[in-house]
Chains A and B, each alone.
Chain A
Amino acid sequence: MNGDSVARLKWGAALVLGLALSACAPASGPAAADPRAALIGGWQDFRLAEYDLATKAFSSALAGAAQGSDERIQALFGLANVWNLRRPGEDPDRARGYYQQVLQEAPGHDLAAWSDLALVRMQHVVPVGQEPDIKAVRAGYQRIIGTYPGHLASKEATIYLNASLIATLDPALTWQAVSNLTAFIGSGTREFRAPAWSLLAVSYQSLKKPRERLEAEIKAFENVEIDPANPFNEFAWAYWNIATIAEFEVGDFDLARGYYRRLIEEYPADVRVFPSKEALLRMDRVEAELRAGREASP
Chain B
Amino acid sequence: MIGRVLAFLRSYFAMLVVAGTFLWSAGAIVKYRAAQYPSDAIILRLGHWQLEASVREAIDEMAAEYRRTVNPKVYLVQDAIPEGTYGQWVSTQLMGGTAPDILQVGSMLPGNIWLSYYQRYFVPLGRYVERPNPHNDGTVHAGVPLRKTYKDGMKTAYVDEMQEYMSIPLAQFGSRVFYNKDLLKKLTGLDTPPDEYRAFLKVCEQIRAQKGDDGKFYVPIAGSGYHFGMMGGLMWEPLTFRAIEKADFNRDGSVGNDEQFVAFRTGRLDFDFLPYRARFKMIEELTRHFQSGYTGLTRDEAVFLFAQQKAVFMATGTWDARSLQEQAKGQFEVGVMRYPFPAPDDPFYGPVAPARPREQVGSGFQFGITRTSAHPEIALDFLLFLASRIGNEQLNRIIGWIPAIQDTETDPLLRAFEPNIVGIFGAMNFTLGGETVIKWGQLHALYQVGQITYDQFAKEYKPFYLERGLMDYREQSRDWRRGMHRNELFLAGIRARALFSEGAESNTEWIRYRALTANRQVWAELDRSRQLKLMEQGLEKDAVGPYEYKPEVLAAVKARILAAKETP
Contact = CB atoms under 8 A, between A and B. Distances in A.
Answer yes or no: do A and B interact: yes
Interface of A: 4-5, 8, 39-40, 43, 46-49, 78, 81, 85, 87, 110-111, 114, 121, 125-129, 152, 156, 159-160, 163-164, 166-169, 191-192, 194-195, 198-199, 202, 225-232, 237, 240-241, 244-245, 248-253, 268-269, 271-275, 277-278, 286-287, 290-291, 296, 298
A244 B553 CA distance: 12
B549 A85 contact: no
A294 to B, nearest CB: 11
Contacts of B192: none
Given A128-B479, A128-B482, A269-B421, A275 B244 contact: yes
Contact of B129 (A40, A163, A229, A232): A229
5 contacts: A85-B489, A152-B510, A226-B511, A231-B158, A240-B252
A290 B559 CA distance: 10
B355 to A, nearest CB: 6
Interface string B153-174: 1110010100100000000000
Interface in B542-568: 545-550, 552-558, 560-561, 565
Nearest to A220: B518
Contacts of A85: 485, 488-489, 492
B515 A225 contact: yes
A250 to B, nearest CB: 7
Contacts of A49: 116
A166 B528 CA distance: 12
A43 B421 contact: no
Given A163-B522, A169-B529, A296 B549 contact: yes
B350 to A, nearest CB: 15
Nearest to B361: A269
Contacts of A194: 518
Interface in B401-457: 421-425
B262 to A, nearest CB: 16
A272 to B, nearest CB: 5
Q: Which of B126, B129, B478, B522 has the most CB of A within 10 A?
A: B522
Contact of B526 (A167, A191, A248): A167
Q: Which of B253, B492, B497, B550 has the most CB of A within 10 A?
A: B492
What's the dominant secondary structure at chain B's contact region?
helix
A229 B512 CA distance: 9
A171 to B, nearest CB: 14
A275 B522 contact: no
Contact of B422 (A229, A249, A273, A291): A273
B564 to A, nearest CB: 9
Contact of A43 (B11, B484, B497, B514): B497
Contacts of B511: 225-227
Contacts of B554: 251, 286, 290, 296
A99 B525 CA distance: 25
- Which 5 A-B pairs rank lowest in CB-CB distance, beginning with the nearest? A251-B556, A251-B553, A195-B518, A47-B493, A43-B496
Contacts of A249: 550, 553
A273 B355 CA distance: 12
B558 A271 contact: no
Given A85-B485, A152-B510, A167-B528, 10 more contacts: A167-B529, A195-B522, A227-B508, A240-B252, A251-B552, A252-B556, A271-B358, A271-B425, A290-B558, A296-B554
